[in-house]
Amino acid sequence: MHTPHRIENGRKFRIASLSPTPPKNAPSKPDGIRATETLLPRLYALQEKLFADGRKGLLIVLQAMDTGGKDGTVQHVFSGVNPMGCRVTSFKAPTPEELRHPFLWRATNALPPRGSIGIFNRSHYEDVLVVRVHDLVPKPVWSRRYSQINEWERMLTEDGYVVLKFFLHIGRDEQKERLQARLDDPAKRWKFEPADLAERKHWDDYMKAYQDVIRKCSTPWAPWVVVPSNRKWYRNLVVASAIVDALQKLDLKLPEPDFDPSAIRIE
């Protein structure tokens, strides 16, 4: 299986040329939904094997603009996996203690143990996104972080981790509709945050920052998957197939028992 929208070398990546809607060769919506439904039981089985094998870990990074669908992706794609083998960490503005440490400290602390899946809902990439857009540290500091991140991710993959990073790309108009829907629908209103409107004003700066992230931090060992995310069904399909694809390539093995099962009699 091949993962669409996977970028291992982003040097020429241009975010302006990227459409947030499904490409022409995408399946129809009903076919796409069916395809995702067949992927989820496979994901369940692969996660169990990952756990039984115990030698590898999977780190999934989810980045998006507000309303981009990080929560929805976690809900849909991981609806079938065993919660015991999966942990979601949401990265908020750093605490005073986190700020007293290197920026990769809290990401390191949140790593999944081998045998399990860790999902970063936002991530260490905020340290070159929101931090850059709002000048939270001087440019010489944030501009060194791209290569620091690449080295950290390389260290992880050399140590038995698979690192998959998803940028859920929605258009500015789509964000407007989703924010409006949160305002209009009483059941969704709790999700509306006035602060999101302030961030929306910086849309172009964020796109520039995302473009640089994908240019500088797409590597063969930790690729970005840039997911056209205006349509939730297509987003879920791309994310689920990328994860199943990556787990399948791991050649996971059930451990051999260190006893002879045929010699055991259970009274």
> Footprint of ligand ATP on this chain (CB under 6 A)?
66, 71, 90-94, 122, 126-127, 130-131, 136, 193
Please, which residue, 82 or 109, has the CB nearer to ligand ATP? 109
Q: Are 20 and 225 in contact (CB under 8 A)?
A: no
For strand 161-169 and strand 57-64, is the pairing parallel, antiparallel, or unpaired? parallel
CB of 141 to ligand ATP, least distance (A): 12
Q: How far is the CB of 118 from ligand ATP (least distance, A)?
A: 16
Nearest of 215, 105, 118 to residue 167 by alpha carbon: 215
Q: Which is nearer to ligand ATP, 135 or 158 (CB)?
A: 135
Q: What is the dihedral of CA 256, 154, 156, 166, to 10 degrees?
A: -100
The residue among 23 and 102 lying less far from ligand ATP, judged by its C-beta, is 102
**Position closest to ligand ATP via CB:** 126
Least CB distance to ligand ATP at residue 122 (A):
5
In Å, what is the CA distance from 75 to each residue of 36, 71, 157? Answer: 13, 6, 26
How many whole angstroms separate alpha carbon 239 and alpha carbon 13?
20
Q: Least Å distance between CB 203 and ligand ATP?
A: 14
Query: Whose CA is closest to 114, among 75, 162, 152, 69?
Result: 162
Instruction: Pick the closer one to ligand ATP by CB: 6 or 145.
Output: 145
| Closer by beta carbon to ligand ATP, 71 or else 205 | 71
- Residue 222 CB neighbours (<10 A): 22
Nearest approach, Cβ of 152 to ligand ATP (angstroms)? 15
